[in-house]
Amino acid sequence: MGQVPPAPPRFAPPQHQRRERAAGRVLVLNATFEPINVCTVRRATVLLLKQKAEVIEHATWSLRSENTTLPRPMVIRLVSYVRVPRDAHRRKITRRAVFARDGWTCQYCGSRSNLTVDHVIPRSKGGSSEWDNIVASCAPCNRRKGDMLPEKANMIPRTTPKAPHPQVFIHVASPTIPASWKAWLPETTHEVLSSDVAEAA
């Protein structure tokens, strides 16, 4: 019988860095340097050890196991190109995804606090629960619009709702964006950063 390959070494950050585990996410770039995903530090480490990825950005401290030391990856790049489906319209719609798409801003008044979501065409009037009919709305605007059509309420969304760019989901996966990621993300998504709004159940 063949030998069972050893498990990847378990890395641990220095004691003073363990409090940063909550931010322990790694940005994954495709072979073309396009951002495509966010993964855990452990998953990134496995990809690096298997030589399926390379480190592009790393922290100033290292991950250590009994026999190995690696720089703590912040951004990695896949060695081989991975085809990414462009089907954002099929992804599950959550409040956080809607907020990220809409720049964490009420689409009626521009407020950035007390956000919820609103069906532009109310469901009671045949409106769907799809990307093109849901917008971020502050609670006061949501109450004011109530069950009225946009024209009746004189409340037209500032931007036409549509399925988000796939990279919006990077911001959904990571509540905060480390500075080392920003050079690899489109500038148009830099303003969607926020960690103050709780994700919907």
Report if residue 47 sits inside a domain: yes
User: Are residues 107 and 127 part of one domain?
Assistant: yes
0.85 surpassed by pTM: no
Q: Where are the alpha helices (DSSP H) in 21-156?
A: 41-49, 95-101, 139-145, 150-153
What is the CB neighbour count within 10 angstroms for residue 148? 13
Identify the H or E element spanning 182: helix 179-182
- Cβ neighbors of 19 (< 8 A, separation 6 or more) are none
Look at the chain and report how many structural domains it folds into. Answer: 2
CA distance 189 to 98: 13
Q: Give the pair of three-digit tokens for residue 125.
A: 């009037």
* Predicted confidence pLDDT, tens digits, the chain (201 residues): 455 455 555 544 444 444 444 358 899 999 999 998 899 999 999 999 999 999 999 988 888 777 778 889 999 999 999 987 666 556 778 898 899 889 899 999 999 999 999 999 999 999 999 999 999 999 999 999 999 999 999 999 999 999 887 778 787 777 678 889 988 987 544 444 433 333 332
Phi, psi of 53 (to 5 degrees): -150, 165
User: Are residues 108 and 59 part of one domain?
Assistant: no
In CATH, what number is assigned to the domain containing residue 103? 1.10.30.50
Determine the structural domain holding residue 94 and report its residue range: 88-153
Report if residue 197 sits inside a domain: no
Report if residue 105 sits inside a domain: yes
